[in-house]
Amino acid sequence: METPFDAVKSLKRKDIYTYQHSINVGIYSKNFALFLGSCDPETVFTCALFHDIGKLFINNRILKKKGRLTPEEFDAMKLHSCLSMEYLMKRGYNKEIYLSVYHHHEKYDGTGYPAGLKGDQIPLISQIISLCDCFDAMTSKRHYRNAMSHKEALDNLKASGGQFNPWLLDIFVSCINDIVYLPASLIRKNGFNNSKPTGF
Ligand SMILES: [Fe+2]
């Protein structure tokens, strides 16, 4: 049977950044869940590895576009959370997993997508992924900007208004060094190239 690791490796052929980002968010989210103790770390790991798997079905012209997306392109890109959910439903993953993935772009103040959920309506696993997703995006080098330091990224998260659950954000900031610690055993076991481009 295809493992989550095999599946996410298919992203490597599509878009190396999304692949690397999925691995990073998987590890950060699992470590954060271990620290929180409120949900199963392995379930969180699976959800986080798969959160952007729907990007397999997004046109490369949009996925790898160097400039700013047009509103139409951004709408097409936003479909990836639904496509990720469909991917997982087709493969028999349970409701907790596919719904947590579906809602990973919701924001605590209700301004996110796809459902515009607010506050505690958003599954806790989705909230964990969202924080780790933004942190990794900011601390990774992109073709249009350098990577931020951990401190700059945390300052940005803290300045993001009501986008994140304040309780969860405080814990994330307080245990960031535990979250970004990368166990060598995980790298060896799965044969990933986990070296972050910069800022790690
Ligand atoms: Fe996403």
Domain boundaries, the chain: 4-104+112-190
Ligand 1 ion local residues (Cβ < 5 A): 52
Q: Taking the CA atoms of 91, 94, 95 and 98 in sequence, report the sign of the dihedral they define.
A: negative
Q: Taking the CA atoms of 52, 179, 100 and 130 in sequence, report the sign of the dihedral they define.
A: negative
Ligand 1 centroid vs 23 CA: distance in angstroms?
13
Q: Which class would CATH give 4-104+112-190?
A: mainly alpha
Ligand 1 centroid vs 135 CA: distance in angstroms?
13
Q: pLDDT by residue for the chain (200 residues), tens digit each? A: 677 778 888 899 899 999 999 999 999 999 999 989 989 999 999 999 999 999 999 999 999 998 889 999 999 999 999 999 999 999 999 999 999 999 999 999 999 999 999 999 999 999 999 999 999 999 998 877 889 999 999 999 999 989 999 999 999 999 998 888 755 445 444 554 444 433 32
pTM (predicted TM-score):
0.89
